[in-house]
Amino acid sequence: MEPVATDMPLVGVEDLTRHFRPGRRRSGRVVRAVDGVSLSIARGETLGLVGESGSGKSTLARLLLHLDQPTTGRVVFEGRDVFATSTRELRELRRKMQIVFQDPYASLNRRKTVEQIISFPLIVHEPSLDREARRRRVSELLELVGLRQEHAAAYPRQLSGGQCQRVSIARALALHPSFVVLDEAVSAVDVSIQAQILNLLRELQQRLSLTYLFVTHDLAVVRYMATTVAVMYLGRIVELAPSEVLFETPRHPYTHALLAAVPPPPGAPPPAAVVLQEADASDTLPSGCRFHPRCPLGHRSICQTTDPPLQALGTGHTVACHFPQSAESLLAEAGAA
């Protein structure tokens, strides 16, 4: 595999779709879990991927790691099409692309010790390492994630949720990856532990030059962790912007609604309330803008008939809305009415 130029994005997603027919009988209805997503992740950045449950965040994350097969589109990692690689090349890429799952207890084998759990990637990908070399590597990783050496002999049931998540992080780092997907990585631990894990992840990113995809529904976590934020709704990216820009000047009504639900910092004025209609429980996508049935601005005819494309508003800021420049004032008018 040839070296890759360092000025290109580490991860590129090009018109990615993942459609499937649910159920054993494979009925005629099609679920568009990911529906035409394009984005890039620069080396060393943290892309926050946010949206409600069912928006397609985790499906997109799995596609990026080739844990699922797309319907159409490409994922390019270090200049290589992930879905066009040979088995040998994909095995090499697996070393550089890792994931930390939401539930630390469910993602760890209860019958294995911490040492065995962290050693497993080394056994698979570095079979030439002897047992002593693996133990030294496990010891280094435990220290790296803030665990003690005696934790190596422990089983997951003997650890707290925060300690188990540190084990998951250590396992993900065992092969020196450059890209790590964090899929709701702190949502299952106590609030008192979340800050510790987030600070650890930021420290590891600096020390190891890591690139993160941080999948979450928690915008407070995103604001702390992400350099860029992508907002996802029903399989599409509806807004993408640098973190500070998105939190200060959101342009999509859905983004406004998500931010309005976050408690403001102490002393800050509360954001304007945005009232959304209840989500449609059916799998049928609406015509026009797929957000219009829930949107305070969705009664306009263009919203009901025309699907808005992503359009650039400024450097790195894109939004899929027919009224992006005036969304804030229009929402205020809708709320007043």
- Beta-carbon contacts of 144 under 8 Å, excluding residues fewer than 6 positions away, are 170, 173, 204
| Distance separating alpha carbons of residues 69 and 144, to the nearest angstrom | 34
User: Sign of dihedral through CA atoms 185, 187, 190, 192?
Assistant: positive
Are 292 and 323 in contact, with CB atoms under 8 Å apart?
no
What does the mean pLDDT of the chain come to?
88
pLDDT bucket at 260, cuts 50 / 70 / 90: confident
Tens-place pLDDT, residues 17-48:
999 887 666 566 788 999 999 999 999 999 99
Q: Where are the alpha helices (DSSP H) in the chain?
A: 57-64, 87-96, 114-125, 131-144, 161-173, 191-208, 219-225, 243-248, 253-260, 301-305, 327-336
- pTM of the complete model: 0.90
Q: What is the model's pLDDT at position 238?
A: 96
| Distance separating alpha carbons of residues 331 and 272, to the nearest angstrom | 9
**What integer is the mean pLDDT of 217-221?**
90
Tens-place pLDDT, residues 73-128:
999 999 999 999 998 899 899 899 999 998 888 889 999 999 999 999 999 999 99
Q: What is the model's pLDDT at position 3?
A: 39
**What integer is the mean pLDDT of 147-159?**
96
To the nearest whole percent, how much of the chain has pLDDT over 70? 86
DSSP states of 167-231 as a string?
Answer: HHHHHHHTT--SEEEEESTTTTS-HHHHHHHHHHHHHHHHHHT-EEEEE-S-HHHHHHH-SEEEE
Is 5's pLDDT higher than 50?
A: no
Q: What is the model's pLDDT at position 103?
A: 86
pLDDT bucket at 331, cuts 50 / 70 / 90: low
More confident call, 45 vs 191: 45
Neighbour count for residue 274 (Cβ, 10 Å):
20
Q: What is the model's pLDDT at position 49?
A: 97
pLDDT bucket at 243, cuts 50 / 70 / 90: very high
Is 291's pLDDT higher than 60?
A: yes
pLDDT bucket at 327, cuts 50 / 70 / 90: low
322 closest CA partner among 310, 333, 336, 334: 310
Q: What is the model's pLDDT at position 27?
A: 60
User: Sign of dihedral through CA atoms 155, 156, 162, 167?
Assistant: positive
**What integer is the mean pLDDT of 304-318?**
92
Are 321 and 327 in contact, with CB atoms under 8 Å apart?
yes
Residue ranges of domains in the chain: 11-20+31-248, 250-337
pLDDT bucket at 4, cuts 50 / 70 / 90: very low
Q: What is the model's pLDDT at position 324?
A: 86
> Is the domain 11-20+31-248 a CATH 3.40.50.300 member?
yes
Of the listed ranges 8-17, 99-108, 136-145, 261-270, the one predicted with least confidence: 261-270
